[in-house]
Amino acid sequence: MNNISRRKFLLGCGGFCFWAGLGVPGLMTGEAKAADLESKSVGRVHIFRDDAPEKLWKWSREAFSYEKISGSKTVCNICPNSCVLSPGDRSICRSKVNMDGTLYTLAYGNPCSVHIDPIEKKPLYHFLPRSRAFSLAEAGCNFRCLNCQNWEISQARPSEVRHYDLFPQQAVERALRSGADAIAYTYSEPITFFEYTIDTARIAKQQGLKNLLISNGYINQEPLLALCEVIDAANINLKSFDDKLYRKLNGGRLQPVLDTFRTLNEQNVHFEMTTLVVPGYVDDPEMIRNMCKWITDNLGGGHPLHFLRFIPHYKLDRLPPTPVSTLEQMRQIAMEEGIRYVYIGNVPGHEANHTWCHNCGKLLIKRQGYDLSLPGLEDGRCRFCDTEIPGVWNKKT
20 to each of 111, 139, 152, 210, 393, how far by Cα in Å? Answer: 13, 17, 18, 30, 40
Task: Find the radius of gyration of the CA atoms of the chain.
Answer: 22
Residue 158 — φ and ψ, nearest 5°?
-55, -30
Q: Are strands 113-118 and 102-105 parallel, antiparallel or unpaired?
A: unpaired
206 to each of 180, 224, 230, 263, how far by Cα in Å? Answer: 15, 19, 9, 23
**Measured between alpha carbons, how far is 46 from 167 in angstroms, rounded to an integer?**
12
pLDDT at 65: 95
pLDDT at 1 over 80: no
Question: Which part of the chain has CATH 3.20.20.70?
Answer: 113-349
Contact 223, 65 (CB under 8 A): yes
The secondary element (H helix, E strand) that includes residue 233 is strand 233-237
Share of the chain above pLDDT 90, in %: 80
The pLDDT-based confidence of 395 (bands split at 50, 70, 90) is confident
What is the tens place of the pLDDT at every residue in 334-345? Answer: 999 999 999 999
* 213-230 mean pLDDT: 98
- Average per-residue pLDDT for the chain: 87
- Cis amide prior to 123 (ω within 30 degrees): yes
* 175-185 mean pLDDT: 98
Worst-scoring range by mean pLDDT, 18-27, 71-80, 140-149, 255-264? 18-27
**Measured between alpha carbons, how far is 273 from 260 in angstroms, rounded to an integer?**
12
Residues 6+ apart with CB under 8 A from 370: 118, 120, 121
The pLDDT-based confidence of 24 (bands split at 50, 70, 90) is very low
Structural domain 113-349, CATH architecture: Alpha-Beta Barrel (3.20)
**Measured between alpha carbons, how far is 35 from 103 in angstroms, rounded to an integer?**
23
**Measured between alpha carbons, how far is 153 from 93 in angstroms, rounded to an integer?**
11
The CA-based angle 233-235-236, given to 5 degrees, is: 125
pLDDT at 397 over 90: no
Which residue type, as a one-letter code, is found at position 242?
Answer: D
What is the tens place of the pLDDT at every residue in 269-290? Answer: 999 999 999 999 999 999 999 9
